[in-house]
C-alpha cells in the first residue's frame, strides 16, 4: 500500500483558503476592512516568500473564530464553500485524488490551514483523513488559540509521524510515499517522502524540484 499526502492550498485547490476565508469575513462586514485587509495580504505574501511567523499568523487567523457562536460560523462556512472554494476545485485535482484512491493508497491532506476552514473541502474530495492546524475549543466554542503543533513546515513532519504512530504505522509500513505541494514551505515534508511532486510550484520550489529531478505537474484546468 502507498501513502499519498496532499497539500491543499494552491495544490488541490487553485487558491489559498486561509486568505479567502479572511477576505470572505471582510466582505461580509464581520471583520473591519481597514484593520484586516492589509494585514491579511501581508501574511499571505510572507507565506509565499517563506518568511511567515506562524504564531503571529495563527493569532490573526484564529481570534475571529472566538468572537462568534459556532452555529453562525458554520452557516458562514457553508456560504464560503459555495462562493469561494467549490469554484476553485479543478477536475484535474479530483482525478489525481481518485487515481491514488483507486490504487488503494491511504490518502491524507496535510495543510497549515486550520481544520475548521478545511474539513469540508477534504470531504468534497472524498478524502477521509486530514492533518491540519487545530483551533482549540472549550465546550464547543473556539478559544482563538491553536492546540498542539501547527501543521507548518517541519511541523508537518511531526504531525504526520504522530498520526502514523497513533495508527500503529510508520513510513516503512508503505511501499511508497507521495507528497504533492506547491510551496517552498513544504520542502521539509517533500524531502521526507519517497516520491515528492511539485504542483504549480512557486519559484523556489520549482528550482529545487528541477535541481533534484522531482516531477513538476499542473493541476490547473
Q: Which residues are known to be catalytic?
A: 7, 9
> 81: which DSSP letter?
I
Whole-number Cα distances in Å, 150 to 33, 131, 144: 27, 10, 14
Q: Which residues pair with 2 in a beta bridge?
A: 176
Rounded Cα distance between 121 and 9, Å, is: 10
Q: Are strands 129-138 and 106-114 parallel, antiparallel or unpaired?
A: parallel
Give the CA count within 13 Å in the CB-facing half-sphere of 105: 23
148 near 129, Cβ under 8 Å?
no
Helix, strand or coil for residue 90?
A: coil
The three three-digit cell numbers of residue 142, written as one number: 473556539
Amino acid at each position: 500500500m502507498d501513502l499519498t499526502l496532499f497539500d491543499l492550498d494552491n495544490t488541490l485547490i487553485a487558491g489559498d483558503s486561509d486568505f479567502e476565508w479572511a477576505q470572505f469575513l471582510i466582505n461580509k462586514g464581520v471583520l473591519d476592512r481597514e484593520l484586516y485587509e492589509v494585514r491579511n495580504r501581508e501574511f499571505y505574501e510572507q507565506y509565499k516568500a517563506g518568511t511567515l511567523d506562524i504564531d503571529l499568523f495563527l493569532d490573526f487567523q484564529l481570534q475571529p473564530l472566538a468572537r462568534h457562536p459556532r452555529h453562525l460560523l458554520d452557516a458562514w462556512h457553508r456560504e464560503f464553500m459555495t462562493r469561494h472554494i467549490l469554484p476553485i476545485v479543478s477536475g484535474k485535482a479530483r482525478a489525481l485524488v481518485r487515481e491514488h484512491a483507486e490504487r488503494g493508497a491511504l490518502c491524507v491532506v496535510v495543510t497549515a490551514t486550520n481544520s475548521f476552514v478545511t474539513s469540508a473541502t477534504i470531504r468534497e474530495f472524498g478524502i477521509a483523513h486530514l492533518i491540519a492546524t487545530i483551533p482549540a475549543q472549550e465546550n464547543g466554542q473556539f478559544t482563538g488559540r491553536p492546540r498542539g503543533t501547527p501543521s507548518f513546515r517541519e511541523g508537518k513532519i511531526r504531525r504526520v509521524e504522530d498520526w502514523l504512530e497513533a495508527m500503529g504505522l510508520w513510513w516503512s509500513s508503505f511501499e511508497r510515499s507521495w507528497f504533492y505541494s506547491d510551496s517552498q514551505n513544504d520542502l521539509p515534508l517533500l524531502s521526507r517522502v519517497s516520491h515528492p511532486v511539485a504542483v504549480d510550484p512557486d519559484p523556489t520550489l520549482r528550482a529545487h524540484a528541477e535541481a533534484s529531478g522531482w516531477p513538476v505537474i499542473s493541476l490547473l484546468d
